[in-house]
Structure 1
Amino acid sequence: MPDCAMCVAHSVTQIGTICPDSTGAALQLQGCFIKYDNTSFLGVEDKSVLLSKCGPSIMGYNQGELMSRRDAVLAGLSSGGGPYRVGASGKVQGVAQCVGDLSMSECQDCVSESMGRLKKECGSGMAASGDVFLGKCYARYSAGSIGGGGSVDSKSGSGGSSSSSNDGERAFAITIGLLAGVALIIVFLSFLRKVVGGK
């Protein structure tokens, strides 16, 4: 739990710096997600795509093995229970997580949607990794060099991306994160105002 608390504290600091006068923001970091807005979003499903990113293609070994391992990991994450799910098959690892205000069935719907998008958007390019951030959940997988002989081809068509593209995606993700975080703070402050004003 200390890592989570530190991540949230760091996120709040970042979001306040990047979007100081914003009425809504969201920030997704490696270990946490914060969001705030001046409209109600708690308990509301949101499967809109905030960010979708596929890594470079893996070359030099049986690509069918990568696909089957990736599919096994994604299937395990899809069928797993709870808001936080992890899985692995060989050197392919995956994680999926929902925000805490979703019911289990809403979380399952969101995770299933994110898994489908990962397979659709990152599957045909033999991407070494894939990330999909939806409004209320995210999913990611990453493959190492299966069999030890693979190499990463960063110039591949649908799987590759330039560093300027990565910077743009990172800036977009930070902006969305900041908007969601500010929204959460505003909702919290509104709640406090009602509680204090009601006494």
Structure 2
Amino acid sequence: MLPPTLWLSSLIFPLIFHLSSSATDSFIYGGCSQSRFTPGSPYESNVNSVLTSLVNSASFSAFNNFKISVPGSTQADVVYGLFQCRGDLTTSDCRDCVAHAVTRLGVICPGAGGGVMQLYGCFVKYDSASFLGVEDKSEVFKKCGPSVGYNSDTLGRRDAVLAYMVAGNGQYFRVGGSGSVQGVGQCVQDLSLSECQDCLSEAGGRLKSECGTSAWGDMYLGKCYVRYSERGFHSRSDDDNGDVDKTLAIIIGIIAGVAVLIVFLSFLTRLCDRKADGK
């Protein structure tokens, strides 16, 4: 077992890293398949190979997908993977985001046959079953901000932004705004443009219906997302960072308390040893 101070330090380092990371690396959602692979198996080699390929490819592209089967693999060992970066990221930011997503997958999905990670700036997925080119409109993440009430001007602008996000403009990545309301939408590029349009329409409709009069909202489906926010209101990533700040303060307090306790116990031990030597 690790010494108390070392164990607590292992808890605080990920939080410090999160606070110092850019908004591009902010966590949205992640998940792992229930299937597991055998360590040292061809499937593990294929997983490692596909994840490495994703990071390397992100150095020069905003999207790519792979089907990996190393020599000696069977059909059951084949691994499929893809990444998609947000359309306005630089190449270096895209690579950094994908690398960060792959690292997080390794932490939360060790030994998992499949996994998915959505960060603010990129999306990464791998699995044993092919999902490439398959439309997926299942809802995987939703969050709504506080209500702005029935402000007709704000809601009208929100509706206009969402309408633009789901309009058939032949783009996988869309940004737009109306006054104080801004929006962004994106599909994974293994979909056709018509499938992308279908996915964004579904996401935008659900977002408007389920978030109602919210100042901001996020709707992530399996292969696309739509988000909007009104200027002056905190985004969900800002709220999350606030929660991290509170958690970090609590852990620092715990560490300080444990440190005082260790010093006190050490003092008592030395005092007892001196008394024992004096007898």
Task: Give the TM-score taking structure 2 as reference length.
Answer: 0.50
Query: Once the 2 structures are TM-superposed, how far is the Cα of residue 25 of structure 1 from its aligned partner?
Result: 1.1
Find the partner of 2:143 among 41, 48, 53. 53
Name the counterpart of 2:113: 23
Q: How far apart in 2 are the matches of 1:26 and 1:56? A: 28
Q: For 1:22 and 1:91, locate their aligned partners in 2 and report how far apart those are by CA, in whole Å.
A: 43
**CA RMSD between the two structures:** 2.1
Aligned equivalents of 2:113, 2:224: Cα separation in 1: 22
Give the number of the structure with larger relative contact order, counting CA–CA contacts within 8 Å between residues 6 or more apart: 1
2:207 equivalent in structure 1: 118
Q: TM-score when scaled to structure 1?
A: 0.69
Per-residue deviation, residues 169-190 of structure 1 (Å, max 9, x unmatched): xxxxxxxxxxxxxxxxxxxxxx
Identity within the alignment, %: 57
Which residue, 121, 128, 145 being the options, matches 1:38? 128
Q: Which residue of 2 aligns with 1:143?
A: 230
1:95 aligns with one of 146, 162, 184: 184
Query: Rg larger in 1 or in 2?
Result: 2
Give how far 1:81 is off: 2.6
What is the rounded CA distance, in whole Å, between the counterparts of 2:170 and 2:176 in structure 1? 12
Q: Which amino acid is the alignment partner of residue 32 of structure 1?
A: C
Q: CA deviation at 1:78?
A: 1.1
Deviation at 1:93, TM superposition (A): 0.6
Match of 1:66 in 2: 154
State the distance in 2 between where 1:58 and 1:103 align.
Answer: 36
Number of the residue aligned with 1:131: 218
The runs of at least 4 consecutive aligned structure 1 residues that moved more than 3 Å come to: none
Give, in whole Å, the separation in 1 of the partners of 2:203 and 2:116.
18
The letter for the 1-side match of 2:128 is N
State the secondary structure of the residue aligned to 1:9. helix
1:12 partner SS? helix
How many residue pairs match? The answer is 147
Could you tell me which runs of 5 or more consecutive residues in structure 2 were left unpaired when the two chains were aligned: 1-90, 245-279
CA offset at residue 137 of structure 1? 0.4
Cα offset for 1:58?
2.4
Residue identity in the other structure for 2:217: G
